[in-house]
Chains A and B, each alone.
Chain A
Amino acid sequence: MRQLLNSDLELFVESDFIYLPLLFDPEIEKETQALLQSGRAVENSGETESKIIVKIKDIHFIKTLSLHSLLKNYEEINAYSYKHLRNACLQKYHLTREVDSIFFGETLNTILFQVMPYFVRKNRGLQRKNLSDEEILDFVGEKIHIPGRYYKEAETFGDLQPLQAILKGLEDEKPIYKPPVNGLFTGRKLREWLHEAVHANVLASEQKRIAETLKVREQFSQAKPKHIAILLYLADTGSLEIDGFGFTRKNGYKGEYFVYKRVGEFVLKDYYARSYLFPACRVAVSTYTPFRPFVMEKYKHPFLLRHKSGQEICMQHFAPPDEFTAENAIRILEGGLTALRYGYDARRRNGYHSLDRTWVYIPTIDFEDYRI
């Protein structure tokens, strides 16, 4: 079927059925002649009368696929193409999960408007004041470069008319796609029609989402296009970093993120007051359980069990919270940063490992290469 729709082969469409050029061998020719002579080439299928074989411009066409059925089962027939078309359609109207997460989701709003202001330097000099959401977006706009296409998308995002028309059509129960007129089509032309019909079906299946999106967009209709462009950029990339604070979308988890803060190089001292220089890393917390601080990079430290990436930081008397809130995220990140930089006690040699080699030294993790 894919080959047919990608070819320039002439197809005939009648009564919602695709007729393909009939291929011959002696048996088929006999049957065709018999059918045409006896007049049985016409059959009654339901209400509409359709023929098994039709002859157009001296070419025989045979009834094959039902367009309605093809469209209904397109997701099963060609899952890859359906997914591609669906994504293209949703992206066209900004109905993707990523856009939802930024305009509907609480998580990203919490990170962007509540956690980030705590860690970044917002004001110059000694001035201290809390920023509004709009001021935060302005601040983000100053700090990062937003590609031009997001400004263009922001303009189309603000245009509510196409979605309003689609929603009205769906509410009025109009047919969601127009069936092709009877006649000859090339494979490619029929494919174009099929893709449009799949788009219409996708939009019909997303009626509830469209309604919600429209409500939210009406709220955003007064927002500056620049702000919408920033939000669309964040929805698309899923990551941001300003002044060492950042977040990145977790692949494979819907709407979940890693929120992190960078730690520069720091020095720890061992029992004999010898210094060890630890490299920079990122201390992070995820937006899903367990809400514990961890180091994103491959790292070794007295508070990390092994030398690998994504290890939780060992913290005494730390009770992880049950939910992700701005206060909890800030507390966890600060706890993790403090533990790494100031938590190690050279006298007590706390943590999993000791910086210096003790007399009962077990060579698991060694810090000799960090010594300065």
Chain B
Amino acid sequence: MTFLQNIRNERARQRKKNPLKRDVFNQICSLVKQYHLKESFLSVLDNVEEDLSGDNLKFNRVKLKTPMESSLFSLATKDEYSLTMSIIGKVDNAYLKFANSPEEILLCGPLYRLNSTLGPEKLMRYHFETLFLHERAKIDHIKT
């Protein structure tokens, strides 16, 4: 490769658009601000497994994903920041950045435990409740 080609390639690489990657902090911080979440949300997050163990969730209809426009760069107050970081710390899985509502944050952990191999397309398209019920039904079917 000549020096000229090298320069051209380098410039082409610089001109290339780099899509902004989905950031878990921005996503969760946007949700915290949008839904005015408080510290009490953490206790709900702790007890989510108990709520899901019974027949609380029934597959009545396909739940639609809540449309959401999260900001590209979130800046939070101290309280919002600590809550955001606590949620991220508690849930700590790859699905969290696809949560579009507090409800989905709650279902994030259980869904991940059922199936940790779901692709981004599915996670972006379907509500976590729908995915969770689907995964649970699959497991129940295998068992029977």
Contacts and interface: CB of A to CB of B under 8 A. Distances in A.
B25 interface: yes
A23 B77 contact: yes
B75 A23 contact: yes
A24 interface: yes
B81 A29 contact: yes
Given A24-B78, A25-B75, A26-B25, 13 more contacts: A21-B78, A23-B77, A23-B81, A24-B75, A24-B76, A24-B77, A25-B25, A25-B74, A25-B76, A25-B81, A28-B75, A29-B81, A58-B78
Nearest to A24: B81
A63 interface: no
A29 B29 CA distance: 14
8 contacts: A21-B78, A22-B78, A23-B76, A24-B78, A25-B25, A25-B73, A59-B78, A60-B78
Interface in B63-97: 73-78, 81, 85
A26 B82 CA distance: 10
Contacts of A28: 75
- The main secondary structure of chain A at its interface with chain B is mixed
Q: Which of B73, B76, B81, B85: most chain A Cβ within 10 A?
A: B81
Interface in A18-59: 21-26, 28-29, 58-59
A58 B25 CA distance: 23
Contacts of B29: 25
Nearest first, the 5 closest Cβ-Cβ pairs linking A and B are A23-B75, A24-B81, A24-B76, A25-B75, A26-B25
Contacts of A24: 75-78, 81
A7 to B, nearest CB: 13
Nearest to B88: A26
B20 to A, nearest CB: 15
Q: Which of A21, A22, A25, A29 has the most CB of B within 10 A?
A: A25
A21 B76 CA distance: 10
Contacts of A25: 25, 29, 73-76, 81
B77 A21 contact: yes
A58 B76 CA distance: 16
**Which residue among A23, A58, A59 has the maximum number of chain B CB atoms within 10 Å of its CB?**
A23
Contacts of B78: 21-22, 24, 58-60
Contacts of B73: 25
Interface in A328-344: none
B46 to A, nearest CB: 23
Contacts of A29: 81
A128 B73 CA distance: 84
B77 to A, nearest CB: 6
Contacts of A59: 78
A22 B77 CA distance: 7
Nearest to A28: B75
Of listed B29, B73, B76, B78, residue having the most chain A CB within 10 A: B78
A23 B75 CA distance: 5
Contacts of B25: 25-26
A25 B77 CA distance: 9
Contacts of A22: 78
Nearest to A26: B25
